[in-house]
Chain A
Amino acid sequence: MGNVVQRRTRGALRRCPFEVCGNMAGLELLSDQGYRLDGRKATELRKVQARMGVFAQADGSAYLEQGNTKALAVVYGPHEMRGSRSRTRHDQAVINCQYSMATFSTAERKRRPHGDRKSTEMSLHLKQTFEAAVMTQLYPRSQIDIYVKILQSDGGNYSVCVNAATLAVIDAGIPMRDYVCACTVGFVDETPLADLCYAEESGGVSSLALALLPRGGQIALLQMDARLHQDHLEALIEAAMTACKGVSKVLDEVVRQHLQEVSVLTGE
């Protein structure tokens, strides 16, 4: 199961960022001693911090930081279909995702926070990811809205959004098959690097984003824009799955801690 999205925009890729990238002359992404630019080793994730239930009005919400990438996810629903009825599905709920970036999220102010091609594509990917994870058949003829906003961008935007949205969906009490955890991995000097930061992503690394349902090891979404020799693909996916499992552990802890707090509050 699961969707594998392969973007093949060949014309654009031909003149791909490589020619201008600074990888060769510029930064050494992985030192001989095995350290990355920010001091991590190849398989180490960035620090993940998260909080659930940050907004009272929404059905579910979560805030998640993965290094310097920060995202806010809000979930409404499941509720009755709004807008055009034609999209209504009689056997399952429709998932509606909207991705946007705050104008202040990048170093240079963003002109269009949402609605551009990239955001539309990202929204679509999120939708596909959550269609694979949420048990939509439990809510026929209804709709679930997931809104994700990147507050600060430092690489791995898609993955951070997925992780934040997972927590928000759980917060909303919508059943899922499993946590859906995502991670971006890259390939440098024959070594897969887990959880790329912006400096690495822009350093000319072939990167791959993977969303995983960790318990069953099912892939919800796999996305890769760069060219990579097929010999390396397996190692890279392997590394991505390991990283996703790492993320799922952290998310699991967040959820358990949240539940404890809530139960203390409600006095159970």
Chain B
Amino acid sequence: MKTQYCFKKRLRLYSLFIVVMLKSKTFVKKTRSGGVMKIVREHYLRDDIWCGSEVCTECKQESTVLQRDACIESSLCSYPHYLIPDTNVVLHQIDVLEDPVIRNVIILQTVLQEVRHRSAPVYKRLKDIVHEKEKHFYTFTNEHHRETFIEREPGESANDRNDRAIRMASKWYSQHLKTSETGADGLKVVLLTNDQGNKQKAEDNGLLVYKCEEYIKSLIANPELVDHLALSNDEKNEITSSKVLFPEHLPLSKIQAGIKSGSFLQGTFRASRDNYLEATVFVQGEGEDSTEVLLQGLQNLNRAVHQDVVAVQLLPRDQWVAPSSVVLQDEGAAKDDNAEEEDEEKETSFSVKPTGKVVGIIKRSWRPFCGMLNVAQIKESTRHLFTPADRRIPRIRIETRQAATLAGQRIMVAIDGWPKHSRYPNGHFVRSLGSAGEKDTEQEVLLLEHDVPHQAFSQAVLSFLPKMPWAITPEDMVRREDLRNLTVCSVDPPGCTDIDDALHCRELENGNLEVGVHIADVSHFIRPGNALDKEAANRGTTVYLCGKRIDMVPELLSSNLCSLRSNVERLAFSCIWEMNHKAEILKTRFTKSVINSKASLTYAEAQMRIDDTSMNDDITNSLRGLNKLAKILKKQRIEKGALTLSSLEVRFHIDSETHDPIDLQTKELMETNSMVEEFMLLANISVAQKIYDEFPDCAMLRKHPPPPPSNYDILLKAAKSKEVEIHTDSAKALADSLDVAKVDGFPYFNTLLRILATRCMMQAVYFCSGMDSDFHHYGLASPIYTHFTSPIRRYADIIVHRLLAVAIGADSTYPDLMDKHKQSALSNNLNYRHKMSQYAQRASVAFHTQLFFKSRGILNEEGFVLFVRKNAIIVLIPKFGLEGTVFFDTKDKAAPNLVFDEEVPSLKVEEHTFCIFDKVKVTISLDASNVQHQKIRMALIEPVIPGVSVPAPDVGPQAKKPKLDR
């Protein structure tokens, strides 16, 4: 190592490294106690930071990132050049930077740090670009470089200093590249900034500098890039009138002061799905208690977008209102500046909520949104409104020249900003997803909208798969029990290819029963920390859509090596109990094993074997034993207060060729369904206890918090209307009162009540035992619970497998497994992925339901009122498990006389009063008038209300007729 020093010799100096200069940075920071603290920090400036360019001969770099031939056809820069974007260009034009055309870019450390500070999503995207080899993005650590580091001058703002640092680094590059004998190549650096002042100063310094727009428009060969440009401030001004529509947002400093003093509250903005003029802000309080602030009206929403973190100010108490319970959609076509299109209904209803207004935005959480273009009426116009698929997102104004092509396509658009004089936010086109209404496009849309990672697995991921042909080796058998001789079988839904559990039951010599649950040993194949593991951890779960499965792990594992198919040897993780005939557990043990399943059965096949008294083979006897024990277990569980709730699950029969849904059916539950479920629950509970005993700080568990009492309001009111009493003091009380809730002549009442109860429940979540103290699972009435039984399709189970393997000495631990903070962060991701996958699944069912009804024409069906709103009723059709809304105030008709009573709740339409559980007859049809939001439309047939209900259509022939005619 070479030793160099060049500091003043105050003392005798010794140094070990090639640091050349030493700076002390001093800055002042506020302490927690309110005092001011001076912080002195060292800063070493270096000579060994290289420029990263292929042409350079001066730097002693081992590898280069920036190419010699950095050519891009531009009418402004006819020479090869590297781009240096400033912070704002990166923040606002990341879509442009991501385009494959843009290469050879220098990202300065100053820019990287500022981006990191200001937007986590953009930071991540930027880092992804830097990692991509083809992009040739080079990170230059200018803040540690002796020649490019600058100190903040007295009176200079941090921003100005950073701008200067960026100019300094650009200057350094242009000189550095000039001196390196390649002057002939004429390689230059071009600074991109949108800041006029910065641009001026850069020009004064003799730098090549352009505005981002200017530069992108100069790329002759790539005109499509222009559409990706985010709208800049100047352009916004010319679009809109000078009329100010929204109050100014407060600066961050004032917001922080306000939050500290308690005059503002900080929370997450949640737009209402049903009413675009209403939103709530969820304010996380100390510990458990949190409040919701209601916001009403565009002025009070003040340009906040769904999921933004905002500061709200509460209105005086006399201005508090109740949620409007009106279903209101922003249907207005491009009527731009018409701000006051709605008369806000002011109601002095009883249940007023804290009401407030948004005073400032703390953090935007804008992402690219899927949706469609509403092409402007005026021809040649390049400005159009974009309607996002997610109704909680406002419409976005974008500029594009490809409107004609994009009409009728699903596209993605990103928001750039929302000026205070614009009714809608401004954005830019990102990319097209394909024609609307097509199955592939719509599937892509719903995957993107629900943030489901669905790209094909990368080569890096696939490289960690076992090599085929695969066979169990003697090393695999170490620390593994040979259970191949056991009569193990699996019971799953028909067509299941990812079988992750199998069971066995046999009588022991002492008369007791041995029951085993065998789970695919996925953690044997997925080793901690490799690309395969990381990908699975990020995906978190397999997502099941109608007719499509998005796997968490590659198919070789999910459908082959880990799938416990019959008559092949498979690695398993077994949980084996010794039980007596009363289903009391006498012994529990866990072991890694090898099994050979004797049969893969469907629920129906298993049921048939159990019921068929003529069958007496090992498999059948095993099933009977399991079934018997399962019944006892279930009874015990229900006695303890476990809830059995109901939700209608719908299955589509999908045509194998066209992939169109041809029939739809609600799932049928058999005894064998609950047999398998009982043992899975038991295994999960046993494993949860074991890993918690072994690792009290870092066990991954699952809990289900009890709902706050207010959640039950709607259930209690609904039940009361039928003179049924429901007790919600405990899970057990709820379960018991649901069991006895019956109304004569209304057999479906109990199911409806359970559906309502389901809606009152909280979401169950994963958590790390070291970070929480409340482990209780409310729905299962178990003090502790986890997920162990589906490692092929849930990542949490893989973690649990690893913990259990360490606990029994079958595998070794690794650092992240024992780190409760990393575990906790992982749990958060898993919870998010699970939630999103459920939403995606629902959306997929909804889409297929629409396809189904499209082919059926108009149907009329019986249904029940599930909820009552101010201007609509929500009806459940049990036959299809379908929920739809019957609106009473359609635009084309004069609204009938509506009286809404929230207490009951009931809605009086003319002379008829609707309550929850009322039986109605409705027509169901697909309303395809809005391609983007095709929806199931319901209209009332019975009860007949003159002027409101519609005549019953003649269903059978009518549905077919239009098809035959054409």
Cβ of A46 and Cβ of B42 under 8 Å apart?
A: yes
- Known contacts: A44-B19, A47-B15, A50-B12. The answer to whether A38 contacts B40 by CB under 8 A is no
- CB neighbours of A229 from chain B (8 A): 813-815, 818-819
The reply to whether the CB of B821 lies closer than 8 angstroms to some CB of chain A is: yes
Pick from B15, B40, B113: contact of A48, CB under 8 Å: B15
What residues of chain A lie closer than 8 Å to B13, measured between beta carbons?
A: 47, 49
Q: Is A68 touching B24 in the complex (CB atoms < 8 A)?
A: yes
A48 touches B42 (CB 8 A): no
CB within 8 Å of A: which B450-485 residues = none
> Which one of A27-35, A88-96, A213-221 is at the interface?
A27-35
Chain A residue numbers with a CB within 8 Å of B12 are 49-51, 254, 257
Interface residue from A65, A250, A254 paired with B16 (Cβ < 8 Å)? A250
- Contacts A38-B44, A39-B43; is A108 near B814 (CB within 8 Å)? no
Tell me the residues in window 625-673 of chain B with beta carbons closer than 8 Å to chain A beta carbons. none
Answer whether A199 and B41 are a contact pair too, CB < 8 Å, given A50-B11, A229-B813.
yes
Given that A231-B814, A232-B815 are known contacts, is A39 also in contact with B144, CB under 8 Å in the complex? yes
**B39 and A48: CB pair below 8 A?**
no
Which stretch in B30-38, B421-429, B774-782, B896-904 binds the other chain? Answer: B30-38
With contacts A229-B813, A229-B819 taken as known, whether A108 is within 8 angstroms of B141 at the C-beta atoms is no
What's the Cα separation between A46 and B24 when bound, in Å?
13
Do B38 and A38 have beta carbons less than 8 Å apart? no
With an 8 A cutoff between CB atoms, is A171 at the interface? no
Q: Which residues of chain B are within 8 angstroms of A108 by Cβ–Cβ distance?
A: 31, 35, 37
Specify the chain B residue showing the minimal Cβ separation from A41: B17
| Beta-carbon contact of B141 and A31 below 8 Å | yes
B45 within 8 A of A: yes
Closest B-chain residue to A229, C-beta based?
B815
Known: A49-B12, A49-B14. A38 touches B819 (CB 8 A): no
| Chain A CB within 8 A of B127 CB | yes
Complex: how many Å from CA A65 to CA B15?
11
Q: Are B16 and A249 in contact (CB-based, < 8 A)?
A: yes
Residue pair A107, B39 in contact (C-beta under 8 Å)? yes
A window 40-72: CB within 8 A of B: 40, 44-51, 63, 65, 67-68
User: For the complex, what is the distance from the CA of A18 to the CA of B127, rounded to whole Å?
Assistant: 26
Which of B14, B22, B37, B41 has the largest number of chain A CB atoms within 10 A? Answer: B14
Let me know if A48 and B16 touch, CB within 8 A: yes
Contact between A35 and B141 (Cβ–Cβ < 8 Å)?
yes
Interface residue? A2 (CB, 8 A): no
- Say whether A44 contacts B17, CB under 8 Å: yes
Proximity string of chain B (100-144) to chain A, C-beta cutoff 8 Å, 1 when within and 0 when not: 000000000100010010000000000100100000000101011
Asked if A131 is at the interface (CB within 8 A of a chain B CB), the reply is no
Given contacts A31-B109, A50-B11, contact A40 B44 (CB under 8 A): yes
Q: Does B46 contact A (CB under 8 A)?
A: yes
Q: Can you list, as one digit per residue, whether each of B142-167 has a CB less than 8 Å from chain A (1) or not (0)?
A: 01100000000000000000000000
Tell me, in angstroms, the Cα distance from A49 to B46 when the chains sit together: 19
Main secondary structure of the interface of B (DSSP, over half): mixed
- Asked if residues B42 and A67 are in contact (CB atoms below 8 Å), the reply is yes
> Could you tell me which residues of chain A, from 162 to 215, have a CB within 8 Å of some CB in chain B?
197, 199
Q: Is A113 in contact with chain B by the CB < 8 A criterion?
A: no
Partner of B42, one of A38, A246, A250, A254: A38
Interfacial residues of chain A within 17-32, with CB under 8 A of chain B in the complex: 18, 24, 28, 31-32
Contacts of B37 in A (CB 8 A): 107-108
Instruction: Evaluate contact between A39 and B45: CB separation under 8 angstroms.
Output: yes
What CA separation (Å) do A50 and B697 show in the bound complex?
45
Given A51-B12, A108-B35, A32 and B44 contact (CB-CB distance below 8 Å): no
Is the beta-carbon distance between B141 and A44 smaller than 8 angstroms?
A: no
What is the bound-complex CA distance between A108 and B35, given in angstroms?
A: 9
CA of A199 to CA of B37 in the docked complex: distance in angstroms? 14
* C-alpha spacing A48/B44, complex, angstroms: 13
Q: How far is the CB of A166 from chain B (nearest CB, A)?
A: 14
The residues of B that contact A227 with a CB separation of less than 8 Å are 818
User: Is B46 a contact of A250 with CB atoms below 8 Å?
Assistant: no
Name A250's closest neighbour in chain B (CB-CB).
B14
Inter-chain contacts of A228 with B (CB < 8 A): 815
Task: Report B2-35 CB contacts with A as 1/0, cut-off 8 Å.
Answer: 0000000001111111010010100000010001
A40 to chain B, nearest CB (A): 5
Residues of A contacting B815 with CB < 8 Å?
A: 228-229, 231-232
For B39, the chain A residues whose CB sits under 8 A away are 107
Closest to A23 in B: B821
Q: Which of A240-268 contact B (CB under 8 A)?
A: 246, 249-250, 253-254, 257
CB distance from A118 to the nearest CB of B (A): 19
Across the interface, do B144 and A35 meet the contact criterion of CB distance under 8 Å?
yes
B140's nearest neighbour on chain A, judged by CB, is A33
**Nearest CB in chain A: distance from B211 CB, A:** 29
A33 surroundings in chain B (CB, below 8 A) = 109, 139, 141
Q: A67-B42, A154-B40, A231-B814 are in contact. Are A45 and B16 (CB under 8 A)?
A: yes
Is the Cβ of B814 less than 8 Å from the Cβ of A40?
no
Residues A38 and B11 in contact, CB atoms below 8 Å apart: no
Q: Is B38 a contact partner of A107 (Cβ separation < 8 A)?
A: yes
Whole-angstrom distance between the alpha carbons of A65 and B24 in the complex? 14
- Among residues of B, the one whose C-beta sits closest to the C-beta of A45 is B16
With a cutoff of 8 Å between Cβ atoms, the chain B residues found around residue A232 in the complex are 815
Known contacts A50-B11, A229-B815; A38 and B43 CB within 8 A of each other: yes
**Smallest distance from the beta carbon of B669 to chain A beta carbons, Å?**
44
Chain A residue at minimal CB-CB distance from B33: A108
* A51 and B11 contact, CB distance less than 8 A: yes
User: Among B17, B42, B127, B825, which residue has its beta carbon within 8 angstroms of that of A68?
Assistant: B42
Most buried by B among A49, A199, A257: A49
- The residue on A at minimum CB distance from B816 is A229
In the complex formed, the residue of B with least CB distance to A228 is B815
Residues of B within 8 A of A68 (CB): 24, 40-42
CA distance A154 to B26 in the complex (A): 13
CA distance A199 to B43 in the complex (A): 12
CB closest residue in chain B, given A37: B41
Chain B residues whose C-beta falls within 8 Å of the C-beta of A24 in the assembled complex: 821, 825
CB distance from B730 to the nearest CB of A (A): 32
- Most chain A CB within 10 A, of B42, B127, B130, B825, is at B42
Complex CA–CA separation, A202 to B798 (angstroms): 33
Least CB separation from B771: chain A residue: A19
A-B contact pairs, 29 of them (CB 8 A): A28-B113, A28-B116, A31-B141, A35-B144, A38-B42, A39-B19, A39-B43, A40-B19, A44-B44, A47-B19, A48-B15, A49-B14, A50-B12, A51-B12, A67-B42, A68-B40, A68-B42, A107-B31, A154-B40, A154-B42, A199-B41, A229-B813, A229-B815, A229-B818, A231-B813, A231-B814, A231-B815, A254-B14, A257-B12
**The 10 residue pairs across chains A and B that have the minimum distance between CB atoms:** A229-B815, A39-B144, A39-B44, A107-B37, A250-B14, A44-B17, A38-B42, A49-B11, A33-B141, A67-B42
Interface contacts beyond A32-B139, A39-B43, A39-B144: sample of 9 additional A-B pairs, CB < 8 Å, sorted by A: A31-B141, A32-B130, A33-B139, A38-B43, A48-B15, A49-B12, A51-B11, A107-B37, A250-B16
